[in-house]
Chain A
Amino acid sequence: MAGFDKRVASYEEAMEGIESGMTVIAGGFGLCGIPENLIAEIKRRGVNDLTVVSNNCGVDGFGLGVLLEDRQIKKILASYVGENALFEKQMLNNEIEVVLTPQGTLAEKMRAGGAGIPAFYTATGYGTPIGDGKEVREFNGRHYILEEAITGDFAIVKGWKADRYGNVMYRHTAQNFNPMAATAGKITVVEVEEIVEPGELEPSQIHTPGIYVDRIIQGTFEKRIEKRTVRS
């Protein structure tokens, strides 16, 4: 009996059950804090017609960008999709459906999805093309649009440290969308740099409590830098 032990032995096992046509929510901002090995496993499995929910879509040859190579993504919800030539090409050829979503709305859609809130009102996007066709309500003299929550068949998440029970901590700004993504998957898979014994992580420092996490795996990461800026 595994009890609360969420560890799996391989990336193959980590993504067991993913099928074509599913919705996958991914953590990460640009290339920072992306579940790079879980993405690679999705590529290896060759599943397609995926709906992907992620702030960005990686770059050519790295991150979610690798899923474009064999046209595995049917639809993506993202706030910003620059820096990716293959993506551009597929978007212009209508080979991929893109639902541009304001960044805060995207984060809140994931958060609400994980928290059992089906929709929420926000001022973001009111009076813009994003608000077209959406319900509008006025509260205290201001207009808000109704945005619906998102859940995924899978959530793929990159953490820093976790214990065997799936309690996760993130490192620096690699946190970004990961905690919300972790709450919003029917199956949430977290890959981390280090797995420790329960009790080793300070309970009050846990970002994602293990209750949200179904599978956990330790990996090694390239952590590619998108824009390398240094001072002399």
Chain B
Amino acid sequence: MALTREQMAQRVARELQDGFYVNLGIGIPTLVANYIPDGIDVMLQSENGLLGMGRYPTEDELDPDMINAGKETVTVRPGAAIFSSAESFAMIRGGHVDLTVLGAFEVDQQGNIASWMIPGKLIKGMGGAMDLVAGAENIICTMTHASKHGESKLLEKCELPLTGAGCINRVLTDLAYLEIKDGAFILKERAPGVSVEEIIEKTAGKLVVPDHVPEMTFDD
């Protein structure tokens, strides 16, 4: 079975380490915040100028001056800091954020990512995504392995306009967890019940398959 969005978030959350500053993109990455393992403290960075994002507010706490990068109303956790957009992107571009998790349309075996523009469709903009992928050492891309029509999104070369070049080293899809190294995807784990053959079939880019590919396990 392909992973659900929640399972994808759960799997990404296992990559969190105690003391990490983490930027979570919109969509599945946002859900990662719900699965931070016990005993681990992470600080969530929101690129509109907030380090230490908390939960959504109650009705009483609701404040139009307190939002996240998705423009949702939020709260801050104890120990949070608030700053300007320039300061926020100094953190991001300066490589101070330990982990960035974001979605993508396509990723290729050279670590290129396309996530902001589909020519011919309405273009809404890249927001902070180009800064995030250029600035972070450590990025996990979350996406479905293939389109609804079965076309692979893990390619030899991205077809859509790039968000960043050579910057992605890890990808979690609904079928597999992969690393990108030396011009190839390396299959590290597969979703429960998903065969290596299915992953091979749905990966258009160069794929390295080790002898043993463990199956991910989930509590529920």
A residues adjacent to B (C-beta < 8 A): 29-33, 55, 78-82, 88, 91-92, 100, 102-108, 110-111, 122-130, 160, 171-180, 207, 223-232
Instruction: Specify which chain B residues have a CB less than 8 angstroms from the CB of A91 in the assembled complex.
Output: 122
Chain B nearest CB, measured from A208 CB (Å): 10
A173–B131 CB distance below 8 A: no
Nearest 9 Cβ contacts at the A-B interface: A127-B165, A104-B89, A104-B131, A80-B125, A82-B124, A102-B130, A30-B71, A107-B85, A223-B64
Contact of A31 among B71, B85, B93, B164 (CB under 8 A): B71
B63–A107 CB distance below 8 A: no
State A133–B163 Cα separation when bound (angstroms): 16
A80–B126 CB distance below 8 A: yes
A79–B65 CB distance below 8 A: no
B residues adjacent to A (C-beta < 8 A): 46-50, 55-59, 62-74, 82-86, 88-89, 92-93, 112, 117, 122-131, 134-135, 161-166
A228–B49 CB distance below 8 A: no
A228–B162 CB distance below 8 A: no
Contact of A128 among B55, B72, B161 (CB under 8 A): B161
Q: What residue of chain A has the Cβ atom nearest to residue B89's Cβ?
A: A104
B92–A104 CB distance below 8 A: yes
A30–B67 CB distance below 8 A: yes
Contact of A231 among B56, B68, B126, B164 (CB under 8 A): B56
Instruction: Specify which chain B residues have a CB less than 8 angstroms from the CB of A107 in the assembled complex.
Output: 84-86, 88-89
A124-B134, A179-B84, A224-B64 known; A79+B125 contact, CB < 8 A: yes
Number of A-B contacts (CB under 8 A): 167
Instruction: Specify which chain A residues have a CB less than 8 angstroms from the CB of B69 in the assembled complex.
Output: 29
Instruction: Specify which chain B residues have a CB less than 8 angstroms from the CB of A171 in the assembled complex.
Output: 65
**Secondary structure of the B side of the interface?**
loop
A100–B86 CB distance below 8 A: no
Chain B nearest CB, measured from A79 CB (Å): 5
Instruction: Specify which chain B residues have a CB less than 8 angstroms from the CB of A228 in the assembled complex.
Output: 62, 73
Contact of B128 among A79, A178, A207, A225 (CB under 8 A): A79
Q: What residue of chain A has the Cβ atom nearest to residue B129's Cβ?
A: A102
State A226–B73 Cα separation when bound (angstroms): 8
* 11 residue pairs from A and B, CB less than 8 Å apart: A33-B65, A79-B127, A100-B126, A102-B127, A102-B131, A122-B93, A172-B65, A174-B65, A179-B84, A227-B67, A227-B70
A231–B55 CB distance below 8 A: yes
B125–A81 CB distance below 8 A: yes
A107-B85, A231-B57 known; A29+B48 contact, CB < 8 A: yes
Contact of B71 among A32, A122, A174, A177 (CB under 8 A): A32
A103-B47, A172-B65, A230-B57 known; A108+B86 contact, CB < 8 A: yes
Q: What residue of chain A has the Cβ atom nearest to residue B165's Cβ?
A: A127
Instruction: Specify which chain A residues have a CB less than 8 angstroms from the CB of B82 in the assembled complex.
Output: 172-173, 175
Instruction: Specify which chain B residues have a CB less than 8 angstroms from the CB of A78 in the assembled complex.
Output: 125
Contact of A122 among B48, B122, B134 (CB under 8 A): B134
Q: What residue of chain A has the Cβ atom nearest to residue B73's Cβ?
A: A229
Instruction: Specify which chain B residues have a CB less than 8 angstroms from the CB of A123 in the assembled complex.
Output: 93, 134-135
Instruction: Specify which chain A residues have a CB less than 8 angstroms from the CB of B71 in the assembled complex.
Output: 29-32, 226-227
A32-B65, A104-B89 known; A176+B48 contact, CB < 8 A: yes
A104-B128, A175-B84, A180-B84 known; A127+B50 contact, CB < 8 A: no
Q: What residue of chain B has the Cβ atom nearest to residue A84's Cβ?
A: B124
Instruction: Specify which chain B residues have a CB less than 8 angstroms from the CB of A33 in the assembled complex.
Output: 65
Chain A nearest CB, measured from B51 CB (Å): 11
Contact of A103 among B58, B63, B70, B128 (CB under 8 A): B128
State A126–B55 Cα separation when bound (angstroms): 35
Residue among A122, A178, A207, A224 with most chain B CB within 10 A = A122
Chain B nearest CB, measured from A10 CB (Å): 25
Residue among B56, B62, B86, B123 with most chain A CB within 10 A = B86
